[in-house]
Amino acid sequence: MVVWLALLFGLVALAYASVGFGGGSTYNALLAISGAQYQYIPIIALVCNIVVVTGGTVRYWLAGKYEWRRMLPLVAIAAPAAFMGGLTPINESFFYLLLGSALLFSAAAMLIPTDKLSRRELPVPVLLGLSGIIGFVAGLSGIGGGIFIAPFLHLVRWAEAQRIAAFASFFILVNSVAGLGGQLAKSGISQAAEPFGEYWPLLLAVLIGGQVGGVTGLKLFNAALLRNLTAILVAYVALRLLWQGGIAM
C-alpha cells in the first residue's frame, strides 16, 4: 500500500509543483482513502507540503517574483493562525467533518476558471481575515491553503498569474511550517515522528516529483484536464469523509 501511495504522491507533487502548489488537499484525500490514522494525516500532509514547495519558493525568489510589501501582511496573519490550528486538539469525527469540508471547498476552488473571472473589489481587511481563516484551517487539517487563497487573489487581480503562483508557494510553505509546529507542540516530537517509520517513502516520492514538476513544468499532460480529474477525486473523498464524520458523531 505504501508503495502505491508513494507513486501517487510523486505524481501529485509533480503536478502541483508545476503551478506553485504543494498538493496538501490531495495528500489528505489519498491518506484518508488508504486508512491512515487520522492523527497522522495532517502531519504527513504538512511535511510533504514543505518538501514540495521549498524548492519552488526558492526558485520564485531567485526569479524576483516576490513583492514582500504586499505578501508579508497576509503571511503575518496566516502563520500564527496556522500554528494555533495545529495546536488545537480535535476528535476523529470532527477531524473528518472538517477535512471533508475543506476538501470539498478545495475541489470547488480547483474548478473555478480563474482566467475568466471578472475583477471584483475585496477590501484589504477582508483579505487579511480570509488569510487568517485559511491559515487556521491549514494547521488543523494539513492543507497548506494556497488552493483556497489563490482563486480569491485571481478574482481581485491582486497580481499577475505567475506572481500569485509564487505567493501561493510561499504562503503554503509558511503555513505548513507553522501548522507543523503546532502539531509538534500538541503531540510531541517523538509521537509526531511515528508515522514516518512507515510512510517515509512518501517524502522521497514528493521530493523527486516536486523537483521535476517545479523545474520542468507540467508538459506531458493537459493541465486543465488533470486539474478537473483531481477535483473530482478530492470531491469524492470529501463526501466520503463528511459521511464518515457524520456517522461517527
Mean of the pLDDT values across residues 54-77? 89
The closest of 142, 199, 160 to 70, measured between CA atoms, is 160
Average predicted confidence (pLDDT) for the chain = 82
Mean of the pLDDT values across residues 104-127? 71
Here the cell at position 219 is 508538459
Out of 16-30, 167-181, 186-200, give the one with best mean pLDDT.
167-181
241 has pLDDT over 80: no
The closest of 85, 106, 87 to 32, measured between CA atoms, is 106
Per residue in 28-61, pLDDT tens?
A: 888 888 888 888 888 999 999 999 989 888 888 9
Mean of the pLDDT values across residues 148-175? 83
Cα separation, 51 vs 173, in Å, equals 9
170 has pLDDT over 90: yes
For residue 72, what pLDDT is reported?
93
Cα separation, 58 vs 55, in Å, equals 5
3-state class (DSSP) for residue 89:
coil
For residue 175, what pLDDT is reported?
93
Could you give the C-alpha distances from 224 to 130, 165, 220, in angstroms and in order?
26, 16, 12
Element (H, E) at 57: helix 40-62
Q: How confident is the model at residue 248 (pLDDT cuts 50, 70, 90)?
A: very low
3-state class (DSSP) for residue 228:
helix
Please, are residues 10 and 162 in contact by the beta-carbon 8 Å criterion? no
In sign, the C-alpha dihedral spanning 100, 103, 107, 109 is: positive
Could you give the C-alpha distances from 152 to 20, 96, 133, in angstroms and in order?
15, 25, 13
Per residue in 193-208, pLDDT tens?
A: 888 888 888 999 999 9
219 has pLDDT over 70: no
Element (H, E) at 125: helix 124-141
For residue 249, what pLDDT is reported?
47
Please, are residues 206 and 64 in contact by the beta-carbon 8 Å criterion? no
| Between 136 and 194, residue with greater pLDDT | 136
For residue 177, what pLDDT is reported?
94
Q: Which of 89-98, 187-196, 198-207, 222-231 is least confident?
A: 222-231
For residue 205, what pLDDT is reported?
93
3-state class (DSSP) for residue 132:
helix
In the DSSP assignment, the letter for residue 150 is: H
Please, are residues 107 and 234 in contact by the beta-carbon 8 Å criterion? yes
Please, are residues 48 and 202 in contact by the beta-carbon 8 Å criterion? yes
